[in-house]
Amino acid sequence: MNDALMNTYKRLPATFARGEGSWLFDTDGKKYLDFTSGIAVNCLGHNHPTLVQAINRQAGRLLHTSNYFLSDVVPLFAQKLVEACAKGGMEKVFLANSGAEANEGACKIARKYSLLKYGAGRHTIVTLQGSFHGRTITTLSATGQEKFHKDFGPFTEGFVHIPGGDIKKLDATLDEKTVAGLWIEPVQGESGIVPQTADFVEAAAKLCRQRDILLMADEIQSGLGRTGTFLAIEQYMAEGKAVKADIVTLAKGISGGIPSGAVLAGEKACGVFAPGDHGSTFGGNPLAAAAGLVVLDTVDKSDFMAEIKRKGEKIMAGIRAWGHSGVKEVRGRGLMIGIDIEKEAWPVLEAGLGAGLLMLSGGTNTLRLLPPYTISDGEIEQGLEIMRGLL
């Protein structure tokens, strides 16, 4: 059936036909509880009525204009997105279609900021081991995992990877003569849900500020409320104040399932792009903007973030309460949860599929859970019951 598709994904054997809330239905009508949200994309669950209505309405009004023109909905979305990221220090946004594309934009902004202020040669971007920044040649170059660094070279120059948590190494690497940016995922996603420590992020923010190196936060997986605050970086406090980034990237859940992405910048770097510097045919698409407005309005409701935190704690506490020898560690923030297990993760995903529970892996022995924000307590309990049986 899928012979026409290139062989790029190791897939689980299920073919889905439709979704409803936290549930997916395969072509035989079997239902599955979705603890993955399409890897943090379907953050409001499947077939969310307001989202579907907004997409339908926009599809009937205007799908696309090109960036020679504005549409009425795109500036509104941009404004709300910037407001939502204000606590993280953001002032302006460039709209893109995907995470990797947003991250390419982030690299361009950091390099141009440094070039304008300090001249050529100060272009290195420091990233962390275990990071994941995307699949384009440049974002692969930024990604600090060896397994991605084969077969596709030569890679883009000017990326250095250091271990997270190592403040000494960070201090030594952030050379103000050669480094333009430090790029972190406040909570690493792909490599198994690894939150950076508060000490490290605070030290990073301070060193970056002192040396005028841009602090870049890849919040493609951790943003949009996933961790219980709009941006995960808001949860880190330096000198009693929330850490502010200079550049933030978002994608995945930003339009609730429509392809979309964003690179935002704060005071320092939001003005470095001039007309002609950057662009994207589909970036700032009215359909993605209309969908994105629903996501922003939904997560903006009072108590919504507190509920994400509460549901995440409920899942983590539930797993810890098993006192189970098959579970080595449970960690996470909000509804972004990693579970180190004794077994290999992949066969557990396969068994989960059989039992009607969808999960992700994050490394060989780690399960990764990214349930929709709208999941109910009853669904959480059902999912935990299935997981307990599997482990």
State the residues that interact with ligand PLP by CB under 6 A: 98-100, 103, 132-134, 185, 189-190, 218, 220-221, 251-252
Cα dihedral 14, 16, 19, 24, rounded to 10, equals -10
Is 122 or 223 the residue whose CB approaches ligand PLP more closely? 223
Amino acid symbol at 346: W
Residue 41's nearest CA partner among 260, 203, 235, 272 is 260
On the CB side of 166, CA atoms within 13 Å amount to 12
User: Structure tokens of 99?
Assistant: 């995470």
| Minimum CB distance to ligand PLP smaller for 358 or for 391 | 358
Tell me the closest approach of the beta carbon of residue 190 to ligand PLP, in angstroms. 6
* CB 31, min distance to ligand PLP, A: 26
Task: Measure the CA angle with vertex 330, ends 329 and 335; round to 5°.
Answer: 160
Looking from the CA of 11 toward its CB, the CA atoms found within 13 Å total 11
- Considering the complex, state which of residue 124 and residue 188 has its C-beta at the smaller distance from ligand PLP: 188
**Residue 98 beta carbon to ligand PLP: minimum distance, rounded to whole angstroms:** 4
CB of 331 vs ligand PLP, minimal distance in Å: 17
Residue in the shown chain whose Cβ atom is closest to ligand PLP: 99
- Measured from the CB atom, the residue of 315 and 370 that comes closer to ligand PLP is 370
Nearer Cβ to ligand PLP (185/379): 185
> CB of residue 178 vs ligand PLP: minimum separation in angstroms?
24
Q: Give the distance between the most distant pair of CA atoms in the chain.
A: 61
Q: To the nearest whole angstrom, how small is the minimum distance from the Cβ of residue 301 to ligand PLP?
A: 25
DSSP E strand stretches across the chain: 16-20, 23-26, 31-34, 90-96, 124-128, 159-162, 179-184, 187-188, 194-195, 214-218, 237-238, 241-242, 247-250, 261-266, 327-333, 336-341, 357-358, 360-361, 366-369
Helix (H) or strand (E) holding 386: helix 377-390
261 versus 286: smaller Cβ distance to ligand PLP: 261
Nearer to ligand PLP, 48 or 133 (CB): 133
Cβ of residue 28: shortest distance to ligand PLP, in angstroms?
29
